[in-house]
């Protein structure tokens, strides 16, 4: 069993970007600028946005954090996004999800200029991804592809089961794994809450991507020997023995499942840091496109 170390690969990805940014600077070119928008004060969102801003600082990107109270009107938020769209210095825009209930995710996502959509959630980005064209790939599935690539894992012809069909993780993951690329070329089954024979499907899978958001849902009796298991889930579970009062749990019961695997990602330190690295990669791309205009 080998652990796929997201911290390590994320660090290597960020270091490569750091060198590229230093080069841009010596050439007198524009450095990437990411604008992150955070509405409200959800603890987990604060952590993730904080990690993204910190990654920008490490690499040498410019970053701007726009914070709004959770009672901001939808109109005002859309106006703020338009402002970022029209700011020539801003290369990438990220609006942290989830948003308060009175704000439509769809309207927000559609308002972000496709050329600055570093989350890859805009319908134009999604359409291009489905067609295999160059575009921004949603950071979590992109990070997983970078991780598989780093470890040279041969996925061609393998049976992959993706648990979860959200627009931000499961659905794009299924598209990427089935694409004619390396990694890719898998035969993909996508599962959701209506799936009836999930256990059997998982048992026949060479690759399982768990992205359903249920702590330790995937157990040893659902995994075949030698499987590759990617744990996307990240839930905060109350735990009085922890300093922060909670523990982070993945969607996979790591203790029981890991001995059966050929490769597995831990939580934390697996997919999470790769998500940040992939976002940094997308932000570089957004700026690069501009430097060549």
Ligand X SMILES: NC(=O)C1=CN([C@@H]2O[C@H](COP(=O)(O)OP(=O)(O)OC[C@H]3O[C@@H](n4cnc5c(N)ncnc54)[C@H](OP(=O)(O)O)[C@@H]3O)[C@@H](O)[C@H]2O)C=CC1
Ligand Y SMILES: Nc1nc(=O)c2c([nH]1)NC[C@@H]1CN(c3ccc(C(=O)N[C@@H](CCC(=O)O)C(=O)O)cc3)C=[N+]21
CA proximity to 283, closest of 107, 42, 2, 36: 36
Tokens, residue 196:
């009836």
Q: What minimum distance in Å lies between the beta carbon of 180 and ligand Y?
A: 26
Separation of alpha carbons 215 and 76, rounded Å:
36
CB contact at 8 A, 193 and 172: no
- Among the listed residues 166, 178, 181, 185, the single contact to ligand X using CB under 6 A: 166
Q: Give CB contacts under 8 A, 24+ apart, made by 39-47.
A: 39/67, 39/68, 39/69, 39/70, 39/72, 39/77, 39/95, 39/96, 39/99, 39/100, 39/103, 40/68, 40/69, 40/70, 40/100, 41/70, 42/98, 43/236, 44/236, 45/96, 45/98
Residues at the annotated binding site for NADP(+)? 164-166, 234
Separation of alpha carbons 186 and 178, rounded Å:
5
Q: What minimum distance in Å lies between the beta carbon of 29 and ligand Y?
A: 27
The binder of 95, among ligand Y, ligand X, none, by C-beta within 5 to 8 A per type, is ligand Y
State yes or no: is 23 an active-site residue: no
Q: What minimum distance in Å lies between the beta carbon of 292 and ligand Y?
A: 26
Asked if 169 is part of the footprint of ligand X (rule: CB under 6 A), the reply reads yes
Whichever of 98 and 226 has its CB closer to ligand Y, that residue is 98
Question: Which range of residues in 12-20, 24-32, 81-89, 158-166 is near ligand X by CB under 6 A?
Answer: 158-166
State yes or no: is 251 an active-site residue: no
Question: Which range of residues in 22-30, 68-76, 100-108, 193-201 is near ligand X by CB under 6 A?
Answer: 193-201
Tokens, residue 119:
């989350």
Asked if 164 is part of the footprint of ligand X (rule: CB under 6 A), the reply reads yes
- Among the listed residues 13, 63, 96, 111, the single contact to ligand Y using CB under 6 A: 96
Separation of alpha carbons 56 and 49, rounded Å:
11
Which of 117, 119, 231, 251 is catalytic? The answer is 119
Binding residues for ligand X, rule CB under 6 A, total 25
Q: Return the residues of window 66-95 that contact ligand Y according to CB under 6 A.
A: 94-95
Q: Is the dihedral of CA 164, 165, 167, 173 positive or negative?
A: positive
Asked if 195 is part of the footprint of ligand X (rule: CB under 6 A), the reply reads yes
- Among the listed residues 87, 104, 268, 290, the single contact to ligand Y using CB under 6 A: 268
Q: Which residues pair with 121 in a beta bridge?
A: none
State yes or no: is 52 an active-site residue: yes
The binder of 94, among ligand Y, ligand X, none, by C-beta within 5 to 8 A per type, is ligand Y
Asked if 279 is part of the footprint of ligand X (rule: CB under 6 A), the reply reads no
Describe the strand order of the beta sheet including 92-95 as a list of residue ranges: 62-68, 33-39, 92-95
CB contact at 8 A, 232 and 164: yes
For the annotated catalytic residues, the residue numbers are: 52, 96, 119
Q: Which residues bind ligand X (CB under 6 A)?
A: 140, 163-166, 168-170, 191-195, 198, 211-214, 232-235, 271-272, 275
């Amino acid at each position: 069993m080998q652990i796929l170390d997201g911290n390590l690969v994320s660090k290597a990805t960020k270091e490569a970007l750091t060198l590229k940014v230093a080069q841009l600077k010596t050439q007198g070119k524009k450095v990437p600028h990411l604008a992150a928008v955070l509405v409200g004060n959800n603890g987990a969102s604060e952590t993730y946005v904080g990690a993204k801003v910190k990654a920008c600082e490490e690499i040498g990107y410019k970053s701007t954090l726009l914070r709004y109270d959770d009672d901001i009107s939808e109109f005002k938020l859309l106006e703020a996004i338009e402002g970022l769209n029209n700011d020539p210095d801003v290369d990438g825009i990220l609006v942290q999800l989830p948003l308060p209930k009175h704000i439509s995710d769809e309207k927000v996502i559609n308002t972000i200029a496709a050329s600055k959509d570093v989350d890859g959630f805009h319908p134009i980005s999604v359409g291009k991804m489905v067609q295999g064209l160059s575009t921004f790939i949603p950071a979590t599935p992109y990070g997983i592809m970078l991780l598989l690539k780093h470890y040279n894992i041969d996925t061609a012809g393998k049976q992959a089961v993706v648990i979860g069909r959200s627009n931000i993780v499961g659905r794009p993951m299924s598209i990427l794994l089935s694409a004619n690329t390396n990694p890719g070329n898998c035969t993909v089954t996508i599962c959701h809450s209506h799936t009836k024979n999930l256990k059997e499907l998982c048992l026949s899978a060479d690759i399982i991507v768990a992205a359903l958001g249920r702590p330790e849902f995937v157990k040893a009796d659902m995994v075949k020997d030698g499987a590759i298991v990617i744990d996307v889930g990240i839930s905060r579970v109350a735990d009085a023995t922890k300093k922060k009062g909670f523990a982070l749990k993945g969607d996979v019961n790591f203790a029981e499942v890991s001995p059966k695997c050929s490769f597995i990602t831990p939580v934390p330190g697996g997919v999470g840091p790769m998500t940040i690295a992939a976002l940094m990669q997308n932000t570089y791309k957004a700026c690069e496109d501009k430097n060549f205009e």
